[in-house]
Structures are given as C-alpha cells and as structure tokens.
Amino acid sequence: MEFRTGSGDPKILLRELAEAPAAVRRIVAHPYLAVRGIARGGLPSFWDLVAFALLFGTLLLVSFGTSQFGAPLSALEKTPVDLHPSALPYYALRTTLRMAAAMVVSLVFSIGYASLAAKSKRAERVLIPLLDILQSVPILGFLTFTYTFFLGLFPGRVLGAELASVFVIFTSQAWNMTFSIYQSLRTLPPDLSEACTSLRFGPLQRFRRLELPFAMPGLIWNMMMSMSGGWFFVVASEAITVGDQTITLPGVGSYVATAILQMNRGAIGWAILAMLIVILLYDQLLFRPLIAWGEKFRADNEPGQVQPESWILRMLQRSRFAALMWRPFDNALNRILRPRRAAVAVSQSSLQLPAWTPLALDIAWYGAIVLTAAYGVWTTGRYISHSIGFGEVGHAVLLGLATMTRVILLVALASLIWVPIGVAIGLRPRLAAMAQPAAQFLAAFPANLLFPVAVALIVSFHLHPDIWLSPLMIFGTQWYILFNVVAGASVFPHDLRDAAGNLHLRGWLWWKRAMIPGILPYYVTGAMTAAGGCWNASIVAEWVTWGHTHVQAFGLGAYIEQASTDADYPRLVLGVAVMSLFVVGFNRVLWRPLYSSAERLAGIDE
C-alpha cells in the first residue's frame, strides 16, 4: 500500500486501488515487477546469481546448524564449551538460528494477539492485563516452570532443550512487538478506517491494505529491539540452570557464561567481536532492507529528503529468481485475500439481536473473569501460606518497593536522555542510517559482559551495591525508548512539520504542540516495555557474580535469582507473583492513562 502516490486523499487512493485492473494492483503490491518490466526469459542477471547464492548459502547454514538436533541430550555433557575463538563461528550460527526462530514465533504471536485485543472490547479486558503479567514474569520464572515441558516433548534429545531455549528468547522478544502493533491498531486514522468500511473491505483485506502497513514502521523498529533484547538474555537462554540440573547448549550465551565462570577476559573480548559481526550481518541482510521497504508505508504525501537504501532490497526487486521463488506464496496470498462481496445484501433486521443479549454476554464474560482471577488468587495464597507463611510476603513486597524505586528513576532518566536523541535521529534519515547499527549493537550488549567491571569497581572502591549495580538494570532496556521514539519521529508527517515551521514553533512550544503529541503513542510503548524489561533485568543486575566473587543488591530481582539457584519454588512463586503485581499495578496507574491520551490525540473514540 502506497499512501503518498497519486492524490493526497486516502479515500480516493484506496478506491482507485480497489477498482484498478489486476495487473496494476499486482505492480502496486510488488514494485519489483515494475522495476524489471516483468521481463521473462534471457540469461540470469547479476542479481539472480546473488539471490541464488544467498538462498543456497542460507539453506546450507540452516542444515548445518540443525544437524545436531536429533542427538542425545547426554552428548551435551560430553562436549564442554570450547573457549577457543575458532569455536565462535559455529556457536554464533546456533545462537542466530535460535533467535531467528524465536523472532518468527514472536511475529506470528504479536500479530494475532494484538489484533484480537485491539478489535474486541471483551478480549481486550483480558488480553491486555494478561500481556502486562506476561511482560512482568521474569525469564527465570518462565524457564523454571516450562523447561521440563519442552524436554518432555522430545525425551533425551537435544531438540527439546533447543525448543526450551527458543521459548526463553521468545519471552524476551514478543511483548514489545505486541504492544507496538496494539498501539498502532488503536490509533488508526479515522478517515482511513472509514475508507476501508465504505469500500467494504473484508477483515483480511483491511488488515493487509491498512492495518499492517500502518503498524509496519513501529513494528520494524521493535523487531530490531526484540532481536537485540534476545542477545541481552542470551546467557540465560543457553546456559540453563534450575536447581541441580544444568543444560548448556552450544552458543554465544553459553560461551559467555563459561568465560565468566572461568574469569577469562580474553574469551569475553572474542564473544563481543562475534556479537558485533553477527549484528552487522543481520543489519545488512534483514533490518536495513525492512526499513527501506517500510518507507512506502509512510502515511504522509511527500517522500523524505533522503530515502533509505539496501542492496538486498534492490536485489529482490531486480532478480527474476527471487520473483520466481516468491510467486507461489504470492498466488496463495492473493487467493486468500481475494474480495468476496455478497451478491445479495442481507437485511439489517435479520442480523439484529435482542436488546438484552449484549448485557447478558457482558455479565457472563466479566463474571467468568472475576471467578477465574479469584480462584487464582486463592490458589496462590493457599500455596504460599502452607509453604512459607504470609510473613515472607511482607519481606518480598519490601524488596519489590526497592526495585520499583530503581525502575522509576532509571526509566525517567533514560527518557530525558533518549527522547531528544531519538527525535533527532528519526527526523534525519541519513543520521538514522548511520546510528542504526550502533544502536543495535549497544542494545544487544549483554549486561553479563559488564560483570567484571562492576564487581571490580564495587569491591576495589567499597561502593554500595544498591546504588552501583542499578545502572546494569537499564543498560539493556533503555533502548526500547530510543527505538520506539525513532520509529515515531520517522513517520511524523511532513505536512505537520511544515505547519510547525510556518507557525514558527520553537523550543518547548514545538515539543508541546507538535512533537510530543506525534510521538506519544510510540513513547508510551517504549517506556512501558522498558519498565517491564527493567524489572526483568533486575534479576541479572541485582545478583552479580564474577568467578567466585559475588555482589548482591537489596531488591526483588536478587530474591528471585537466589530462590531459583536454591530451587526454592515457594519463594520463587512468591517473587514472581509480587513482581507481576507491581508491574500490572504500575501499568494500570500510569501507562494505560497515557495510552488513552494518545488515542484521544489521534482522534480515536472509545
């Protein structure tokens, strides 16, 4: 869907697209057909050879990286992690495959979950609080209660451990993508929605022509952040330790965990170099093409001064081989999304329900929610009271207040720093192209690699861990704010920028009247996911180990980490429950009202 071609009226654009001949719609949907003139026959071009080499090489790497999935699980114990640099290419391949698989699952989950939550009031009442809870549950909480399930799917095989690792990475990638799509669907421009309604687009057509294109800019930047967030928790996903059982999968995360255990600074340096190379590769092969392709989904009428470019996208547009590979999927998609308009209009009276039906459905639905929540609270309270007593609950709440104080201060500080920087990057495409790889690398940098520095400074200078371990919490989560603000600023309409310039808006007035309303939905998504990630990162940051030296801060994250290490499941359940309550409560009090403000600014009626 191309919003900025032809006339400026989006209704006319959609109507022209719907009524255009099939060949024209095909060229609009697939610009590469127009670029190569729908040429057929002839010798393969240079871009055909590049496309074939990339596809063949990818298949070989995937085959090689998954060749050990059917091996016995005991083989992992017989092959300890090799810290020699020559082992890193294979480890990087295994880690990249896990993260790519988790990204695919996260994308499918996010689209389905966010679409249902945004389009159904009843579903929204359940799914959004549930998403708050899922975001707040620590990765160790998911790992502790799910790894046996995945191991049981393929008993005694490496594949079960691989699925458990992919699931852990999924829990660090999916939530911000889901919130991003939900925010986009809730703030759709009313005129575009009315145009789709007047053209009688079906749900799938509406999703393809309006909803997904409108959500695409924010989704692409959140996909980058999710991939980087997977690197942040890569150690926990590959070096799985729950109680007395330890499973170490070959990968960069297990390489880093072993290097930390053996205090091998040289190996950590090689791991950083390997991460940098992998990040640069998927920046060139995946995210830069997505950003360049996503430019056609901008909702303004004028192109930016500098258009992002990608040699991968150019190859896909000019390669006949790539077009041939895509054609079966394209035909299937077109058959699914083909308009199906009823030949005979159904009378509205035949679809009317009794007046009492909506009220009865609401009573039944919300009653079921209340009963389910009450049963969950009663079950959790009974388990805690029989296991450790309610005296421990007060201690966990006190720890949660300490961690919450750190989260609030760190998110506020990160917002003051990264919102102006994100706006500056988003409004300047050339600067965004240069800053994108650096931001991805910094966002992907695992806090574990800073443990040697943190422990050495705290021990050498007798610093207070409660203060000086706190920066580790925000180090990997502040980037949610930056990436989402960049996405919001990059799609800020040019006509509004011109209007602000004509009105001579400067300084704080420019921020108040133009930029803050424009980026508010994106900032709320970034800040909310940053806060949730900060709670999760507290488990890593409040309990730091370098070799045999251990430093611990006073907080709920350290409480959960210690309970997991000791296999103390009652305290682990208590810690996870308290953290979830804090996050959900904070979202209800602060972020939901901000979401409502963003929807009002976008002209969305409840």
pTM of the predicted model as reported, rounded to 2 decimal places: 0.76
Measured CA to CA, the distance from residue 219 to residue 290 in angstroms comes to: 10
Helices (H) and strands (E) counted in the chain, each on its own, are 33, 4
pLDDT at position 302? 53
Measured CA to CA, the distance from residue 445 to residue 472 in angstroms comes to: 11
Average pLDDT, the chain: 79
CB 483 within 8 A of CB 441: no
pLDDT at position 102? 92
DSSP structure string for 297-334: G-SSSS--SS----HHHHHHHH-HHHHHHHHHHHHHHH
Distances (CA, A) of 439 to 95, 229, 289, 432, 480: 20, 12, 17, 10, 11
**Region 353-373 average pLDDT:** 70
pLDDT at position 485? 92
CB 117 within 8 A of CB 134: no
pLDDT digits (tens, 9 = 90+) for 54-96: 889 989 999 998 888 888 887 777 788 889 999 999 999 999 9
200: phi > 0 → left, psi -120 to 50 → alpha, else beta; which? left
- The answer, yes or no, to whether residue 26 has pLDDT greater than 50, is no
pLDDT at position 8? 46
pLDDT at position 538? 85
Range of lowest pLDDT (64-68, 447-451, 533-537) = 447-451
pLDDT at position 23? 42
Range of lowest pLDDT (37-41, 47-51, 599-603) = 37-41
**Region 217-236 average pLDDT:** 81
DSSP structure string for 373-386: HHHHHHHHHHHHHH
pLDDT band at 177 (very low <50, low <70, confident <90, very high): very high
**Region 284-295 average pLDDT:** 84
- The answer, yes or no, to whether residue 225 has pLDDT greater than 80, is yes
pLDDT band at 491 (very low <50, low <70, confident <90, very high): confident
Could you give the 3-state DSSP secondary structure of residue 450?
A: helix
Can you list the domains of the chain with their CATH numbers?
A: 92-296+311-338+386-601 (1.10.3720.10)
Other Cβ atoms closer than 10 A to 493:
14
**Region 155-183 average pLDDT:** 88
Sequence-ordered alpha helix ranges (H) in 30-73 = 31-35, 46-65
pLDDT at position 154? 85
**Region 221-240 average pLDDT:** 78
pLDDT at position 73? 80
- The answer, yes or no, to whether residue 582 has pLDDT greater than 60, is yes
**Region 251-274 average pLDDT:** 87
pLDDT digits (tens, 9 = 90+) for 391-438: 788 899 999 999 999 999 999 999 999 999 999 998 887 787 778 777
Strands 245-248 and 239-242: antiparallel
CB 151 within 8 A of CB 161: yes
149: phi > 0 → left, psi -120 to 50 → alpha, else beta; which? alpha
Distances (CA, A) of 218 to 155, 176, 212, 295, 432: 40, 10, 10, 11, 14
- The answer, yes or no, to whether residue 351 has pLDDT greater than 50, is no
Which one-letter amino acid corresponds to residue 266?
A: G
Range of lowest pLDDT (27-31, 253-257, 299-303, 555-559) = 27-31
> Tokens 């393809």 map to which residue?
208
Positive or negative torsion for Cα 454, 457, 462, 463: negative
Encoding tokens for residue 585? 């409560």
Measured CA to CA, the distance from residue 241 to residue 588 in angstroms comes to: 34
